[in-house]
Structure 1
Amino acid sequence: MAGLTTGGPNVDVSLLYRINGIARSAPEWFDRGVALLASYGLPLVMVLLVLWCWRGARRQDEAAAAESFAALVWAPLAAALALLVNVPLRGFVARPRPFVAHEGLEVLGGAGGGPGAGFSFVSDHATLAMALGIGLFLAHRRLGLVGIGLAVAEGMCRVYLGVHYPTDVIGGFALGTAVVLLLAPLAMAGLTPLVRALARSPRLGWLVRAKDRVVARPVELAQRPAESDLAA
């Protein structure tokens, strides 16, 4: 705890200065772009990924659609839970922001919020982004990998902006991942039956299943072997 409170290990501080130091030679428009990307761009893309995954899940068969939809519901719930866990954790570690403990950092885009802008470990943004990325991975592997990549980019942006140490970001990644995966079996066991019940609802069933989804009927399945035999 003492290492975190006083600014972290030397390699942590060294990486902080190297990543944040890029801002010294970067043009102002690039710094603004990173600040906008971290605050709005990456979260927006993450939301669009979740919506795209939901759109695809509605076209799956009933069992697969229920599992995918339950995972998509669990992703934001787990992210919110991870943020709640982080509240006492940040107060317990009480690590000052890097721009408070160290001089010469470029705090960009007003991201610091002033010298008294709370504690640093762990990063809320990194925790939230990685929890959503891992939750999306449970629903769709490829889109989940994209979401995890976006979470890594979000963490790098926080260090570039000068508001977090690299270990703050790594800690956020670990916290978000742990909450999602450790509680996923219990969460899925509770959410999946609810989603299946929702799918049978005449008014809200469209949330889980698409109207144009093609599902083979039992009669059609029973006729297919007979048709193939006649053809032979």
Structure 2
Amino acid sequence: MINFSAELYLLISRFAQSTPEWVHSFADFGTDAGLLLFFALFGWHAWRTRGTPEHRLALVAPLAVIGAYLVSEVTKSLIREDRPCRAVAGAAPIAECPAVGDWSFPSNHATIAASCAIVLTVLWPRLAPAVIPLAMLMAFSRVFVGVHYPHDVAAGFVVGSTVGLLLALLAVRLVGPPAPVAPAPRELVASRR
């Protein structure tokens, strides 16, 4: 699998090299900007739910993202896979290759992006069509800029989604589910008949 992932890495990074410089900058900057957007959405959700039973959940849910990150970081330190920008012959990343000892598997960026998207979806389901594709794009950008193998971001996405979801559901259980949504007026009329 590593050989296939390395070949796919080279294919994607060579394509990235053929794109304009502004695409390089956008891809490199975009992942961090996306994470800032996710954190802003957590803050906005906490602000908009203040004074409601949902507010406590909005305040503790980001801890699920921290939990997913910690699982990713511990896994990295155990597996210790070198970055493809150093390990693959012919690699030409468009971003600076991280320092030696900053391991590749799994991708922390992909883990955090996926866990943010999943936790935000648990909190605010209407965001799912926007935040899940954004997290996928952010994960892909790590291969595009040349600092991760495809299997790094796939594993990071799985870790982030799974751990984020489990911890978000645990938070719902511990903090309590949000108050039930009042039925729409039409449903009230129908239930009285």
Q: Distance in 2 between matches of 1:104 and 1:117?
A: 21
Which residue identity is paired with 1:45?
A: L
The partner residue of 2:41 within 34, 49, 60 is: 49
Which consecutive unaligned segments of at least 5 residues does structure 1 have? 1-7, 197-214, 216-224, 226-232
Number of equivalent positions: 183
Per the TM alignment, residue 17 of structure 1 is displaced from its structure 2 partner at its CA by: 1.4
List 4+ stretches of structure 1 deviating above 6 A: none
CA, structure 1 residues 51+183, in 2 after alignment: closer, same or farther (shift >3 Å)? closer
1:76 has 2:69 as partner: no
Which residue identity is paired with 1:118?
A: D
1:118 has 2:110 as partner: no
Q: Distance in 2 between matches of 1:75 and 1:15?
A: 35
The partner residue of 1:138 within 122, 141, 156 is: 122
The partner residue of 2:23 within 16, 19, 30 is: 30
1:13 corresponds to: 6
Superposition RMSD in Å: 2.8
2:186 corresponds to: none
CA, structure 1 residues 159+71, in 2 after alignment: closer, same or farther (shift >3 Å)? farther
Matches within 5 A, 1:73-112: 73-110=59-96, 112=97
Per the TM alignment, residue 44 of structure 1 is displaced from its structure 2 partner at its CA by: 2.4
1:172 corresponds to: 156
Alpha-carbon displacement from aligned partner over 1:161-192 (angstroms, at most 9, x marks no partner): 11111111111111111112223343223223
Q: Percent identity?
A: 32
1:200 corresponds to: none
Which residue identity is paired with 1:143?
A: L
Which residue identity is paired with 2:79?
A: V
1:66 corresponds to: 53
Which consecutive unaligned segments of at least 5 residues does structure 2 have? 183-188
1:184 corresponds to: 168
Q: Distance in 2 between matches of 1:152 and 1:96?
A: 23
Q: Distance in 1 between matches of 2:174 and 2:120?
A: 18
SS at match of 2:53: helix
Per the TM alignment, residue 71 of structure 1 is displaced from its structure 2 partner at its CA by: 4.2
1:159 has 2:151 as partner: no
Which residue identity is paired with 2:145?
A: L
Is the contact made by 1:106 and 1:161 (CA closer than 8 Å) also made in structure 2?
no
Per the TM alignment, residue 11 of structure 1 is displaced from its structure 2 partner at its CA by: 2.5
Q: Please give the TM-score of this superposition, normalised by the length of structure 2.
A: 0.81
SS at match of 2:138: helix
Q: Distance in 2 between matches of 1:185 and 1:137?
A: 11
Is the contact made by 1:99 and 1:162 (CA closer than 8 Å) also made in structure 2?
yes
CA, structure 1 residues 10+186, in 2 after alignment: closer, same or farther (shift >3 Å)? same
SS at match of 1:108: coil
